[in-house]
Amino acid sequence: MNTQKKIEILADAAKYDASCASSGGRKKDAPNHQGVGSTNGTGICHSYTPDGRCISLLKLLLTNVCLYDCHYCINRRSSNVRRARFTPQEVVQLTLDFYKRNYVEGLFLSSGIVRSADYTMEQVVEVARSLREDHDFRGYIHLKTIPEASDELIALAGKYADRISINIELPQQQSLDHLAPEKNLSRTREAMGSIGEKIAEFKPRASKPNTPRRQRKKGLFATGQSTQMIVGADASNDATFLERAGDLYGNFKLNRVYYSAFSPIPDASQRLPLVSPPLVREHRLYQADWLMRFYGYSVNEITTKEQPNLDLDIDPKLSWALRNREFFPIDINRASREMLYRIPGLGVRNAQRITQMRRHFPVSTSDLIKIRVSLKKALPFMITADHQPARLEIDSEKLRAIYAPPPAQLEMNFTQTPSIQVPKSAVIGGEF
């Protein structure tokens, strides 16, 4: 089989993995006019596919042959997809060829489980070793690891990679038992725990001036780990997803949890019939995740016992504000930054701009227009130098109706696959 055919099969095999960050790497450059590659900590998207996703890394499976039978996965052993296998040298060559043309930031390598966890990890690690040691490659390397692999192999993976990750895939064991019988949640958590400890151990600390020398002696380790959860394959509600994310951020200091809407694959399993991917739900989970990481919200604030799922029509921050009207209005000329973060339509950047400006003059509504705050969203919740909302004049239900899209007439169309309306905000990551 030629390289072209292998790329087709093994990129197809890799595309459903959203946990493929290329940021947060340790800064490094090609040394002394040889070798190739640099990592500057932020990561670059070198292209975008028509699904709106960024191509940053060359994302491949070493092989899509797999012993496991995870029902959501295109590569499960029961699937009838074509199988292929790269040699480590083929992947090394492709990475270098693509990198030198500035197609990619580096390599994201994963693999089906063949023979055993250790055997598979050895092959994956060999690719990274060869890139680093034989070719002086200083680009980004992200390796997928297997929780059951030996500590020595995980240490080696961490030595060569900027980031390593294990996909938790589903938020609870019960779901794994049904859909991914070979996977085990507590083993995954345990592995994440020991990787987290290694990352912390090797992390340079400003308070310890002698760290660099010690590091050189001990070698280096990846600077972050991430994971992915598939949304819409099992019956877990959003609260379960967010609690699991909170568990991973809090206990193992993960850099990122990715949410991946379960999406049709070429060969469905009997246990998991295909549906259209729940893209809006995925988007709301990302927004909720963002609130947890940067805005100081806890899981219990974002979802409640009565409403364990996120509102699909409005974003989770607005949803919280409507449930907690007594918290508002917030005076933007007096409130702390943390309070400003609670105002719907006001992002972290604009909250910072407001605190800077108000040192010099009382901030009024026209200032907010100039820095492009979404006034429609924000005004009912804030006091500015020249605006006072009619307090509780409009109740939360009516306010919600203003923001939520009008109920759409459902059209039945049997000839085409259903198209999904993604809210406009879905294309703008980050602030909301």
Partner 1 sequence: MEICIYPKGLLEWRELARELLAREVPPDEVLWQSPEQNTLFAINPVTDPKAHSHFKVSKEFLSLANTVAVHRSGRQWFHLYRALWRITHGERHLLSLSSDKDVHHLKSMEKHIRRDIHKMHAFVRFRKVDDCPETGREQFVAWFEPDHKIVPLTAGFFKKRFTGMNWSILTPDECMHWNGQRVHFTPGADQSFVPSADEQDELWKSYYRHIFNPARVKIKAMQSEMPKKYWKNLPEASIIKELIATSGETVAHMHEREPSPEKKAPKNAYLDAIKNLPS
* Interaction residues for partner 1, span 234-263 (CB under 8 A): 261, 263
Helices and strands (H and E) in the chain: how many:
16, 10
Choices 28-36, 122-130, 162-170, 393-401; region in contact with partner 1 by CB under 8 A: 28-36
Choices 24-32, 204-212, 336-344, 376-384; region in contact with partner 1 by CB under 8 A: 24-32
Decide if 263 contacts 14 (C-beta within 8 A): no
Residues 187-226 that bind partner 1 (CB under 8 A): 187
- Tell whether residue 180 is a contact of partner 1 (CB under 8 A): no
Match 């030996």 to its residue by tokens.
Answer: 150
Decide if 303 contacts 242 (C-beta within 8 A): yes
- Tell whether residue 38 is a contact of partner 1 (CB under 8 A): yes
- Tell whether residue 294 is a contact of partner 1 (CB under 8 A): no
Match 């292209």 to its residue by tokens.
Answer: 47
Q: Using CB under 8 A, pick the residue from 3, 251, 300, 309 that binds partner 1.
A: 3
Considering beta carbons, is residue 181 or 212 the nearer one to partner 1? Answer: 181
Q: Give the pairing type, strands 330-331 and 256-261.
A: unpaired
Considering beta carbons, is residue 271 or 391 the nearer one to partner 1? Answer: 271
Residues 272-291 that bind partner 1 (CB under 8 A): 273-274, 276-277, 279
Judged by CB under 8 A, the number of residues near partner 1 is: 90
Report the phi/psi class of residue 356: left, alpha or beta, with left for phi > 0 and alpha for psi in -120 to 50: alpha
Match 């809006």 to its residue by tokens.
Answer: 280
Q: Using CB under 8 A, pick the residue from 35, 196, 308, 423 that binds partner 1.
A: 35
- Tell whether residue 326 is a contact of partner 1 (CB under 8 A): no
Gyration radius of the chain's alpha carbons:
24
* Of 16, 70, 11, nearest in space to 282 by CA: 16
Residues 105-124 that bind partner 1 (CB under 8 A): 113, 115-117
- Tell whether residue 174 is a contact of partner 1 (CB under 8 A): no
Considering beta carbons, is residue 207 or 419 the nearer one to partner 1? Answer: 419
Residue 177: how many CA atoms within 13 Å on its side-chain side?
A: 4
Residues 48-67 that bind partner 1 (CB under 8 A): 48-55, 58-59, 67
The number of beta carbons lying within 10 Å of the beta carbon of residue 370 is 8
Three-class DSSP category at 161 = coil
**Tokens encoding 108:** 């994201």
* Of 366, 316, 364, nearest in space to 344 by CA: 316
- Tell whether residue 367 is a contact of partner 1 (CB under 8 A): yes
- Tell whether residue 348 is a contact of partner 1 (CB under 8 A): no
Interaction pattern, residues 120-149, with partner 1; x per rule: CB under 8 A? ----------------x-----------x-
- Tell whether residue 228 is a contact of partner 1 (CB under 8 A): no
* Of 431, 427, 430, 428, nearest in space to 51 by CA: 427
Distance in Å, CB of 375 to partner 1, minimum: 13
* Of 420, 261, 255, 404, nearest in space to 344 by CA: 404
Q: Using CB under 8 A, pick the residue from 21, 239, 254, 265 that binds partner 1.
A: 265
- Tell whether residue 270 is a contact of partner 1 (CB under 8 A): yes
